[in-house]
Every structure is written in C-alpha cells, then in structure tokens.
Structure 1
Amino acid sequence: MSVKRRDLVRYLEENSFYLLREGGNHSIYTNETKTIPVKRHKIFDRITANEICKQAGLLPKF
C-alpha cells in the first residue's frame, strides 16, 4: 500500500505542524517543538509514512 505525499502533509497540518521551509529534496515541517523533514516524493510506502508520524510524535495513521 502506498501513501500520497499530500495525505501525509495534510495529516501533519491537521496536528498543528506547518511548513517551515522548502529544501532541494526535503520540505521541513515544524510545530515549534519538533522539526520533521519530509522528502519530496509523490508517493511513500506505508512504513515510511508511519515512521514520519512517529518522529512527529503522532499516532501512525497509515
């Protein structure tokens, strides 16, 4: 199963994360206490998407 990047970003934004800056290969999201790099792929596998959620301190959704 795969997860679209926009779904992952939407989940982060629903949980008070916002875009801090864009890099060449990553977008950096933060909520003032944690900073999470998100690669600029269109599709992630489910395991990678859930790892990003765990790094953000959120429950895995995917």
Structure 2
Amino acid sequence: MSVKRRDLVKHLEANGFYLLREGANHSIYTNGEQVVPVKRHRFVDRITANEICKQAKIQPKF
C-alpha cells in the first residue's frame, strides 16, 4: 500500500514543518529543530511514510 506524497507533505506542514530546500531526489523539510528528507516520487511506501513521521517526532498517520 502506498501513500501519496502530497498527503505526507500536508501532514508534515500541519505539524509545523516547512520546505527548506529541494534536491534532485529529496525535498528537505524542517521545523527549526528536526530536518526530515522526503523522497520526490509520486507515491511513498506506507511504512516509509510512517518512519518519516517518527523521525520528525510527530504522530504517524498512515
């Protein structure tokens, strides 16, 4: 099962994260303390999306 990247980004932004910069393969989001890389693909694996949330120290949604 996959999660749309835009849903993951909306979840991060709802929890205070914003786009720091974009690279070739990843977008980097930060809230001033934590830095979280998000793959630049249309879909992200559900397990990977939950791991990104855990790394960001927010409640996993997916």
TM-score normalised by the chain length of structure 1: 0.96
Q: Cα RMSD over matched residues?
A: 0.5
Q: Percent identity?
A: 74
Return the alpha-carbon distance in structure 2 between the equivalents of residues 29 and 45 of structure 1: 18
| Residue ranges of structure 1 left out of the alignment (5+ in a row) | none
Counterpart of 2:43 in structure 1 is 43
Return the alpha-carbon distance in structure 1 between the equivalents of residues 52 and 37 of structure 2: 8
- The aligned runs of 1:20-31 (5 Å cut-off) are 20-31=20-31
What one-letter code is carried by the residue in structure 2 that aligns with 1:35?
V
Return the alpha-carbon distance in structure 2 between the equivalents of residues 24 and 52 of structure 1: 18
Return the alpha-carbon distance in structure 1 between the equivalents of residues 59 and 13 of structure 2: 14
| Residue ranges of structure 2 left out of the alignment (5+ in a row) | none
- What stretches of structure 1 move > 6 A for 4+ residues in a row? none
